[in-house]
């Protein structure tokens, strides 16, 4: 990417090379994941025009709300640290992310954060631009978590009853649990079949009948 396409808070400017490396590695991860599942043709076109990294969470929040055309007074969760909206990949600094989201600490966790956000856009491309077909929140977040290979150090254990409760919950929940649940189903049903069926109104019932 061109130097002008990466915008850093002034305090982060001396680390420009470091952030360029993070972005390059994240894109490499996305390409590798896409190749593994036969989606390489969907990663030829760029996913973003600019990358903006903030050292202040308030600046991140304000920018994200502007990009999403949402109420500027809305309070976003402290752990909401990355997004890709209107072809702008935005994120907080690695230090802030590490501080507010200890559950995500693992090797290359910041690269995985960027990979996760890009993979949401890959998911949309797989569905020919139909964001409504991405499925329930646990599924589309689980897809990005799985694609980014996050929570590799997780030690949580969920029962089948726990899994059924999580997929039936409409509110946004725990990403570490989503990782476990998504892997549970992808080990039983091919990923492409899961992605194709996530838009179903009876998706949860369909899952239960296929396990």
> Would you state the torsion angle of the CA atoms of residues 126, 127, 128, 131, taken in this order, to the nearest 10 degrees?
-120
The answer to whether residue 122 is domain-embedded is: no
Distance between start and end Cα atoms, the chain: 44
The answer to whether residue 113 is domain-embedded is: no
Per residue in 131-185, pLDDT tens?
A: 999 999 999 999 999 999 999 999 999 999 999 999 999 889 999 999 999 999 9
Does residue 34 sit in the same domain as residue 77?
A: yes
Structural contact between residues 52 and 88, judged by C-beta atoms closer than 8 angstroms = yes
| Structure confidence at residue 89 (pLDDT) | 98
**And the tokens for 174?**
């725990």
- What's the pTM? 0.96
Structural contact between residues 122 and 39, judged by C-beta atoms closer than 8 angstroms = yes
Q: Of 71, 105, 139, which one is at a domain's C-terminal end? A: 105
The answer to whether residue 120 is domain-embedded is: no
Task: State which residues form the domain around 11.
Answer: 1-105
Does residue 19 sit in the same domain as residue 84?
A: yes
Which of the four pLDDT bands, split at 50, 70 and 90, describes residue 46?
very high
Angstrom CA distances, 33 to 20, 28, 101, 103, 196, stand at 20, 9, 24, 23, 17
pLDDT greater than 80 at residue 2: no
Which of the four pLDDT bands, split at 50, 70 and 90, describes residue 4?
low
Does residue 99 sit in the same domain as residue 158?
A: no
Whole-number percent of the chain with pLDDT over 70: 98
**And the tokens for 48?**
């973003």
Backbone φ and ψ for 99, nearest 5 degrees, come out as: -70, -45
Average confidence score pLDDT of the chain: 95
Which of the four pLDDT bands, split at 50, 70 and 90, describes residue 8?
very high
Nearest in space to 140 (alpha carbons), one of 172, 103, 109 = 172
Does residue 145 sit in the same domain as residue 204?
A: yes
Q: What is the largest CA-CA distance in the chain?
A: 54
Per residue in 70-86, pLDDT tens?
A: 998 899 999 999 999 99
Q: Of 56, 71, 105, which one is at a domain's C-terminal end? A: 105
Per residue in 97-116, pLDDT tens?
A: 999 999 999 999 999 999 99
Backbone φ and ψ for 135, nearest 5 degrees, come out as: 95, -175
| Structure confidence at residue 154 (pLDDT) | 95
Does residue 166 sit in the same domain as residue 82?
A: no
| Structure confidence at residue 210 (pLDDT) | 78
Structural contact between residues 85 and 51, judged by C-beta atoms closer than 8 angstroms = no
Does residue 182 sit in the same domain as residue 101?
A: no
Whole-angstrom Cα distance, residue 192 to residue 29?
18
Give me the number of domains the chain comprises. 2
CB-count exposure of residue 113 (10 Å: 0-12, 13-18, 19+): buried
H/E run at residue 50: strand 50-54
The answer to whether residue 116 is domain-embedded is: no
Which of the four pLDDT bands, split at 50, 70 and 90, describes residue 211?
confident
Structural contact between residues 66 and 21, judged by C-beta atoms closer than 8 angstroms = no
């Amino acid at each position: 990417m061109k130097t002008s396409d990466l915008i850093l808070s002034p305090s982060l400017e001396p680390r420009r090379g470091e952030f360029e490396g993070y972005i390059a590695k994240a894109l490499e991860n996305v390409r590798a994941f896409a190749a593994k599942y036969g989606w390489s043709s969907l990663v030829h076109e760029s996913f973003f025009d600019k990358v903006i990294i903030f050292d202040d969470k308030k600046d991140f929040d304000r920018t994200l709300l502007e990009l999403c055309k949402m109420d500027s007074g809305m309070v976003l969760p402290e752990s909401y640290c990355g997004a890709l909206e209107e072809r702008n990949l935005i994120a907080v600094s690695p230090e802030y992310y590490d501080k507010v989201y200890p559950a995500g600490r693992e090797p290359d966790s910041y690269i995985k954060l960027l990979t996760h956000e890009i993979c949401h856009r890959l998911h949309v491309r797989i569905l020919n631009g139909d964001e409504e077909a991405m499925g329930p929140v646990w599924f589309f977040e689980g897809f990005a978590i799985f694609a980014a290979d996050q929570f590799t150090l997780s030690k949580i254990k969920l029962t089948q009853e726990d899994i059924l409760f999580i997929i039936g919950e409409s509110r946004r929940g725990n990403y570490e649990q989503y990782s476990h649940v998504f892997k549970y189903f992808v080990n039983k049903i091919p990923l492409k079949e899961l992605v194709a069926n996530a838009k179903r109104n009876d998706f949860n019932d369909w899952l239960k009948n296929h396990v």
